[in-house]
């Protein structure tokens, strides 16, 4: 696992009430995805039970969209070492995803501009693309990081990023 990712996750955990539905290992009803990195891709292997269904035995589309957003965020962060908020999300449901199946979500950046990052994410089952999404993130400034997360988070975030750049 990428050490920068581990440090940022731990930094988020230091915020009171941090309880990410997708990646927090302390959320009792969350997905608890173990997100990893390989080269320019972010990915997670997982299996969703019927707790996350919409139609009987079919993973809810909103859960799929949530996974796409989370994998996209970490792909953005891992690649450009910046934070951003979701600006837009488009999802194409290619075929149903049944519960209790081995799944893989993979995300990679497709475009970076001055303040926007676009990431493509796919959810696959048996190497077949089931759902595809494009997430656009608005990169945030230091002032916004301070405002939303506090000065201590901002200072620790910059320490993490600067340590990574020094390696």
In angstroms, what CA-CA distances link 35 with 6, 74, 92, 140, 147?
10, 8, 22, 22, 27
Do the beta carbons of residue 128 and residue 67 sit within 8 Å?
A: no
Strand partners for 36 = 43
- The pLDDT mean for the chain works out to 90
* Predicted confidence (pLDDT) per residue in 32-42, tens digit: 898 888 888 89
Mean pLDDT of 51-78: 95
CATH number, domain containing residue 82: 3.10.129.10
Does 165 map to a domain? no
Does 78 map to a domain? yes
Question: Which residue segment(s) compose the domain that 43 sits in?
Answer: 20-140
Do the beta carbons of residue 35 and residue 77 sit within 8 Å?
A: no
Does 145 map to a domain? no
Does 12 map to a domain? no
Choose the weakest-confidence range: 57-66, 74-83, 124-133, 154-163.
154-163
Does 14 map to a domain? no
In angstroms, what CA-CA distances link 137 with 29, 113, 114?
26, 10, 11
The proportion of the chain whose per-residue pLDDT surpasses 90, expressed as a percent, equals: 64
**According to the model, what pLDDT value does residue 38 have?**
83
- Confidence (pTM): 0.91
Does 46 map to a domain? yes
Q: Is 153 helix (H, G, I), strand (E, B) or coil?
A: helix
């Amino acid at each position: 696992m990428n050490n920068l990712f581990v440090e940022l996750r731990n930094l988020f955990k230091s915020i009171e009430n941090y309880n990410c539905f997708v990646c927090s290992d302390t959320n009792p009803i969350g997905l608890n995805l173990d997100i990893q990195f390989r080269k320019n891709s972010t990915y997670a292997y997982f299996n969703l039970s019927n707790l996350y269904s919409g139609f009987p035995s079919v993973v809810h589309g909103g859960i799929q969209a949530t996974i796409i957003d989370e994998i996209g965020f970490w792909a953005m962060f891992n690649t450009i070492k910046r934070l951003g908020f979701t600006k837009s999300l488009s999802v194409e449901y290619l075929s149903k995803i049944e519960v209790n199946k081995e799944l893989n979500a993979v995300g990679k950046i497709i475009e970076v501009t001055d303040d926007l990052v676009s990431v493509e994410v796919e959810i696959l089952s048996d190497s077949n693309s089931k759902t595809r999404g494009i997430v656009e993130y608005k990169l945030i400034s230091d002032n916004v990081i301070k405002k939303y997360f506090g000065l201590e988070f901002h200072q620790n975030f910059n320490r993490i990023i600067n340590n990574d750049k020094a390696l």
